[in-house]
Amino acid sequence: MSKSKSDVCKCATCQGKICYPRGNNINAPLPPLNEAPGHCPMRRYPDEIRRATGNYHKANIREFARLASIQEAECYGISADGMRTEIPRIEEIVQFAKKCNYTKLGLAFCIGLREEARLTTKIFEAKGFQVSSICCKVGRMPKEIIGIKGEEKITGPDMMEPMCNPVVQAKIMNAEEVDLVVLLGLCVGHDTLFFKYCDRPCTVLAVKDRVTGHNPLAAVYMSKSPYYSRLQTPEPKEESRTGLDWKKVDIMHEE
């Protein structure tokens, strides 16, 4: 189907009747695809879906996906009282890594979560893994290297602040040849750079949220209440950001 530049996929606002039936009719045949709304990615990108699905025919990708699906199912238990969840994220990572026969885990963590990193390492090692842990301040490079001015520092203009260094973190993980990297508390943007430069398989244990004890969904849930209702307050319309003096920051292409 044709797509305009203003169109986007909108799975988050869809009831999912086409791809994921729920309720009493869960075993009923799926409705025909032409009944899907126009914003459905299955209608907008059939060729991309077909090409992407071909990757599951690769033996290693198929096996990784198969084990991930098994791990997903093992996180639930069925009893007379219904379905319940049983396994926390940290234990899920341990179980999945063992399914994949991994022996060496990487832990890329924020220096502000040193205690959490210590405890996580202790858990992984107790389960038989070798752990290579790299903190975000590796390289101890001053923030001036990336153009930070004194007034833009956290602790003030006269303080020496080492920059967070996700690119080096990622490169060292590559050199360590870990089987699986676990991210713990990297900042927004720093995690993005880590993913760009890390060649090893990655998963996330927790992300940085300084306000909610590193539980970002707490603010999402509270956006329905007066506490964080500002999150759902529409922003005033900005002037059009176009022209030669404005462009997106593009990290997908090397300059």
**Candidate ranges 24-33, 127-136, 214-223; pick with highest mean pLDDT:** 127-136
Q: Tell me: do 226 and 171 sit in the same domain.
A: yes
CATH number of residue 107's parent domain: 3.40.50.1860
Boundaries of domain holding 124: 88-233
Q: Tell me: do 123 and 167 sit in the same domain.
A: yes
User: Which one, of 173, 174, 146, 175, lies nearest residue 162 by Cα?
Assistant: 146
Q: Is residue 197 part of a domain?
A: yes
How would residue 23 be classed by pLDDT, with cut points 50, 70 and 90? low
Q: Tell me: do 207 and 151 sit in the same domain.
A: yes
Total count of domains within the chain: 2
**Mean predicted confidence (pLDDT) in 225-249:** 77
CA pair distance 4, 2, nearest whole angstrom: 7
Q: Tell me: do 120 and 206 sit in the same domain.
A: yes
pLDDT digits (tens, 9 = 90+) for 169-182: 999 999 999 999 99
User: Which one, of 5, 17, 78, lies nearest residue 44 by Cα?
Assistant: 5
Q: Tell me: do 198 and 214 sit in the same domain.
A: yes
pTM above 0.75, yes or no: yes
Q: Tell me: do 77 and 151 sit in the same domain.
A: no
- In this model, does residue 144 exceed pLDDT 70? yes
Q: Tell me: do 78 and 112 sit in the same domain.
A: no
Q: Is residue 26 part of a domain?
A: no
Q: Tell me: do 61 and 126 sit in the same domain.
A: no
Q: Tell me: do 101 and 60 sit in the same domain.
A: no
- In this model, does residue 238 exceed pLDDT 80? no
Residue showing tokens 């506490």: 227
How would residue 1 be classed by pLDDT, with cut points 50, 70 and 90? low
Q: Tell me: do 103 and 202 sit in the same domain.
A: yes
Q: Is residue 155 part of a domain?
A: yes
User: Which one, of 163, 165, 194, lies nearest residue 181 by Cα?
Assistant: 194
Q: Within 127-232, where are the H helices?
A: 166-176, 190-197, 217-222
Enter the DSSP assignment of 204.
E
- In this model, does residue 70 exceed pLDDT 60? yes
- In this model, does residue 92 exceed pLDDT 70? yes
Q: 81 vs 98, which has greater pLDDT?
A: 98
Q: Tell me: do 200 and 74 sit in the same domain.
A: no
